[in-house]
Structure 1
Amino acid sequence: MKIGIVGNYGNDNNGDEAILLSIVKQVTSTFNISSEQLTVFSNNPEQTAKRYGVSSFPLYYKNGNAVKTFFKTYRLNKEIVKTFDLLIIGGGGILMDLYRREAPLYGSYAMMAKNSNTPYVIYGCGAGPLLSGLGKWFIRYMCKHAESISVRDPESADLLQAIGVKEQVQIIGDPAFSLRKVVQDKAAAPTKIGITAVPYYNAGYWPEGNATIYNDYVEGMAKNLDKLAAQHDVELTFFATKFPQDADVTKDIVKKMIYQDKTTIIDDNLLPNMILDITAQQDVVIGTRLHSLILATCTETPIMAISYHHKVSDFMKLANLEKYAFPIGDIHHHPTLFLDAFSEMKQNWQATISDTKSLSSQLYEESMKGTKQFVDAIKHK
């Protein structure tokens, strides 16, 4: 049996790497096969092959312009796709056109599979934004010919329906929830707080740079963390899921803080299992990156979120935690958001822990339902 996996992998985004790790574990367990029978299309094939024990090929082949790149990638990788028993297109917010390449790129893999009579599934993805006619066309094409479609939140399902997808769309949550790690003992009271940040509107990372917005965000984070540190005896640990970009932002935040003596920055490229270890050691995680929130939930660690993207607020809504989700634009104007939320959690700490354990278990069960897609797709071949 040969199974292919395609997504935004090999890009030093360890949120996406957590998704890949979960899919590799799910597929090998479901079919009782070795990782050597898997092929992953990756931005860094050598790194991906070494980490996961899989075969790996380039996700795309640059060839002058977008059109030439599309056709070269299609021509070369179709020869690989046609050897598969199943292709899994999935994990992460790849059903979008914010960066222009995503919809045509992943749509090309749907075309490769369809034209090779290789069954494929769209698995546990996030959708949106979808603003261009071309992007919408590719996503409709992907969905029309897939054996099955699943997404990670109701908003993604609604968006697919809104752009004209007529096929049934399942909601299974993020595949990374299958990495659940039960933590036996939680602190009697919260003192350790983990934090992640993103380079929000930083010109070196964001599609459109804006120094004023970035500085307001950094200052807002610093002020909120200072207010929290002033009122509570806490240890603040910054960690990154996208390295080194997120670590650089945390350094900018700490420079503006008064209570720098209460902070630690983990300035390392943390693989998913390392992030799980870190979130398990925290009592609360204040996350901007979606997968810092997801992996914290996997380790039964209570969370609050800074919603820099709709996928973060969508997840917090799915988890019934909207009251702990703060729009990123509010951070600069309201310096006690973290303090107020933390104080409420601390006052009701045992209930907070109990609710988080239940949420972790529930989301794990939902994510594991998705493996039925793999089995059903191969049955229909």
Structure 2
Amino acid sequence: MKTRHLIALLLAAAVLVSWLFWPRGIAVDVVKVERSPLTQSVVATGRIATPSRIELGTQITAIIDEVTVREGAAVNAGDLLVRLRATDADAAVEQARSQIAEAQARFTQLDAVGLPVAEQAVKQAEANLRVAEAEYQRAQALVAQQFFSPSKLDEAARQLDTARAQLRTAQAQRDANTPRGAERVSAQARLAQAHAALESAQARRDLLTLRAPVDALVIARDAEPGDVAQAGRALLTLAENGETRIYATLDEKNLRYLRLDARAQAVADAFPGQPFDAVVYYLSPAIDAQRGTVEVRLRVTEPPAFLRPDMTVSVEVVIGRKEQALSLPLEAVREVDSAAPWVLVARDGTAAKLPVKIGLRGVGRVEITDGLAEGDVAIMPAGGALDGDRIRIKPARGAPGPTPNLGR
């Protein structure tokens, strides 16, 4: 009897020792593969930009007489902004106008005096020629009858040649005063030259009056009355009114996710509680080799009133969204940035390595597009389990009892 009790006691002790020292597996934390909404976005820092920034200056050196605006002023196209001293330019304009008046008076002289006088001179020369021809014929007859010496005929021939020359001169003078004559062409050239001189003088004077080229906001003033404006130096800086834009830079590794017309949400650092919408409209074709970034430009469709040029903003560009994405926590996917990511899953109390394909990456979660099914159990890496290890699943935090084995 005692022997039987001893044997039973030894068997019980053996069972207890086996239970205490038998390998029970590595304790691990697990998560289930679930379906849930998933949004992937990239975040960048940028600045508010206007359609264009205009530096207003002058092409000539002159003294500044008046500056009509200050920083922050809204101006309309054509508004007077800066007036430079124009004494010499005004004098040049008046001189050009007097040259035009002189050239126009020359036309009046040609019409009222020059042409009529030239026509009368032609008539007088024609009459003189007729007289000279008659005298030559009479002298020729008398010399033939030996009433005059041959020298008389020579004198008559000389007077005839002179009359003919005078007629040609008078005709040339008359032709020069006709609408297509040289005198009128010369007068037209002088008039055109005077008009050109007036346009040049007016253009130079216009350079001394600086006006707003577009509707804009004055963001810098670098000129005061009495200063000497130098050619090429900006006096005012304007930000053109129009659609508000954001110029931002993103890490080039995110370039594959970006597309035109992608929606984004921006927040100004100065107003963190007032986000506003934006849309991507430009992706730079080049990469900044030194920084490894790509420039992205966004259009702000409804800019809030507090935005200012050059204001710093943070931009979150949404590059993908699914309402029912099969996903896991990001840390559950091993080598997620490699070409062959994988997940360690629980299968019948054993850890098994499975390759997976990933899609969208949200905040702390990643989409599984292939390799796992909904309800599969992934092992978190903190437990240190490896492929083929025996495992036991830790109870969930705050759970009243042990968590059952969820592996298949």
Taking structure 1 as the reference length, what is the TM-score of the superposition? 0.22
Which structure has the larger Rg?
2
Larger fraction in strand? 2
Larger fraction in helix? 1
Question: Looking at both structures, which has the greater relative contact order when contacts are Cα pairs under 8 Å and sequence separation is at least 6?
Answer: 2
Taking structure 2 as the reference length, what is the TM-score of the superposition? 0.21
